[in-house]
């Protein structure tokens, strides 16, 4: 070191004196990139930074002999770097930087006898990147890595890319799991950043992360499609004796879709705008929720309804306990085997509408009665022997003042849904993928 530093008055804190600014020739070798923490908008980069400059105070040649190279590696390189002037290079877009020191200091100093100095060091940096997730997961993130000086302005120190070597290289031995790394051509001329009236020289490395859509096809898109398809199974399940099954299927698919949306968004940054994946999730959720609404509509319109008012010739009347049944239209709850029916107004829903058989429709002994705690209509029953006075009054009060309303025929609603829901979902997928693929490619 004493041979290299040939002057006792050498001051490592003073920048080399030259005609004009000191030129720092820079080249970068990227060893690895990742992981990429999208929730924090940070990517990790591991690299070698090599800087070259000229310091006339270290020139010990006589001007005729070829320059000799002196190498200082590891700990000796770290000690030499602490004894000579080294540019105060900083990374402007980095939140945290780590300098490798194990098992030895990853630092080299090469000094030529003509005063040329090459300083190489290894850094691992947590670089920040403002990511635009509008087209996520069909997006391409453009980040930059900026090198500048902390103290010296552009009149004292000028950063330049090294012309004799590739300015930015990357290792071929690393692959990102969900991104493809693309390095744009580094800016050949240094940019100037203006800060408090002072301009600083800087170099910018543009890095592009092209996301692989295939990962999210398996992780998000296909599961969402399958959840929507599962919700269509209810269209093929008959409503009769299957109400609990269809209700459970509808609620389960809705909750599963909500869980998928929540778990996916937990891995992404909190942003105020809608992502492309959010649009698709909302489309799928609309179809799942629509299947549940379709089943609710079937249950509502197929339920027999009763309305107070005058009776007409379409209605079945029970003006008294011994009244007659005068209509042969569809009546909810009485089957063709002349079995008892349950009146929905007494808390238990009856079967679907069936026609009375002729013998029952013309039977004058058909009366309302109670069986096993339920109010039912029976044909051919003696009114005086079956009902108590309180039961007669209850039956007359409940049935004599209401009229039966024909139920809506909803048997074809499931049939229509079997075709409409898949066709609309396929159309929505075609529009979605064409729109976002076209816009994402145009933006990139």
Quickly count: other Cβ atoms within 10 Å of residue 345's Cβ.
12
Q: What is the pLDDT of residues 390-439, one digit of tens each?
A: 454 444 445 444 444 445 566 688 888 999 999 999 999 999 999 988 87
Half-sphere exposure of 164 (CA within 13 A, CB side): 4
Torsion angles phi and psi, residue 50, rounded to 5: -115, 130
Q: What is the mean pLDDT of residues 88-99?
A: 89
Q: Which two tokens stand for residue 123?
A: 């850094």
Q: What is the mean pLDDT of residues 157-171?
A: 87
Question: Is 37:43 a contact under the CB 8 Å cutoff?
Answer: yes
Q: How confident is the model at residue 7 (pLDDT cuts 50, 70, 90)?
A: low
Helix (H/G/I), strand (E/B), else coil: 195: strand
Q: Look-up: residue for tokens 């804190």? A: 13
How far is 67 from 110, CA to CA, in rounded Å? 12
pLDDT for the residue 257: 94
Quickly count: other Cβ atoms within 10 Å of residue 166's Cβ.
12
Q: Based on the number of CB atoms within 10 Å of its own CB, is 190 exposed (0-12), middle (13-18) or buried (19 or more)?
A: buried
Q: Which of 149-153, 198-202, 223-227, 331-335 has the highest mean pLDDT?
A: 223-227
Q: What is the pLDDT of residues 35-58, one digit of tens each?
A: 888 888 899 999 999 999 999 888
> Considering the chain, what is the average pLDDT of its residues?
76
Q: What is the mean pLDDT of residues 122-137?
A: 90
Half-sphere exposure of 204 (CA within 13 A, CB side): 15
Quickly count: other Cβ atoms within 10 Å of residue 36's Cβ.
20
Q: Tell me the DSSP string of 90-105.
A: EETTEEEEEE--SSS-
pLDDT for the residue 132: 86
Q: Which two tokens stand for residue 311?
A: 């009776």
Q: What is the pLDDT of residues 290-338, one digit of tens each?
A: 999 998 888 887 766 555 554 444 444 444 333 334 343 344 444 444 4
């Amino acid at each position: 070191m004493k041979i290299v530093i040939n002057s006792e008055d050498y001051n490592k804190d003073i920048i080399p004196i030259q005609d004009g600014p000191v030129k720092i020739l820079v080249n970068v070798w990227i060893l690895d990139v990742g992981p990429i923490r999208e929730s924090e908008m940070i990517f990790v980069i591991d690299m070698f930074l090599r800087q070259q400059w000229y310091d006339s105070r270290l020139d010990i040649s006589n001007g005729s002999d070829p320059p000799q190279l002196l190498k200082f590696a590891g700990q000796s390189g770290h000690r030499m770097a602490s004894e000579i002037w080294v540019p105060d290079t900083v990374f402007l877009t980095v939140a945290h930087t780590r300098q490798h020191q194990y098992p030895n200091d990853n630092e080299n100093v090469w000094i030529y006898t003509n005063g040329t100095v090459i300083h190489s060091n290894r850094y691992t940096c947590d670089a920040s990147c403002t990511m635009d997730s509008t087209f996520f997961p069909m997006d391409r993130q453009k980040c930059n890595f900026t090198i500048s000086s902390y103290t010296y302005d552009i009149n004292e120190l000028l950063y330049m890319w090294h012309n004799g070597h590739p300015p930015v290289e990357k290792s071929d031995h690393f692959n990102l799991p969900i991104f493809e790394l693309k390095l744009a051509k580094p800016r050949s001329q240094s940019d100037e950043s203006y800060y408090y009236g002072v301009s600083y020289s800087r170099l910018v490395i543009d890095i592009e992360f092209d996301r692989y859509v295939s990962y999210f096809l398996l992780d998000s898109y296909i599961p969402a499609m399958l959840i929507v398809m599962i919700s269509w199974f209810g269209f093929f399940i008959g409503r009769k004796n299957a109400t609990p099954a269809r209700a459970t299927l509808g609620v389960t698919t809705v909750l599963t879709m909500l869980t998928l949306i929540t778990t996916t968004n937990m891995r992404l940054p909190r942003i105020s705008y809608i992502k492309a994946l959010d649009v698709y999730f909302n489309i799928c959720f609309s179809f799942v929720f629509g299947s549940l609404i379709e089943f609710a509509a079937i249950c509502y319109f197929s339920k027999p309804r009763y309305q107070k008012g005058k009776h007409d010739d379409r209605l079945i009347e029970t003006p008294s306990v011994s009244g007659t049944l005068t209509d042969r239209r569809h009546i909810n709850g009485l089957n063709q085997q002349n079995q008892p029916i349950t009146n929905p107004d007494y808390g238990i829903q009856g079967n679907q509408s069936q026609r009375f058989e002729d013998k029952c429709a013309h039977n004058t002994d058909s009366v309302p009665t109670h069986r096993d705690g339920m109010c039912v209509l029976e044909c051919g029953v003696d009114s005086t022997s079956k009902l108590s006075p309180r039961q007669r009054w209850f039956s007359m009060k409940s049935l004599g003042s209401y009229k039966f309303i024909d139920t809506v025929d909803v048997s074809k609603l499931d049939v229509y849904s079997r075709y409409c829901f898949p066709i609309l979902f396929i159309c929505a997928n075609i529009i979605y993928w064409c729109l976002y693929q076209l816009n994402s490619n145009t933006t990139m």
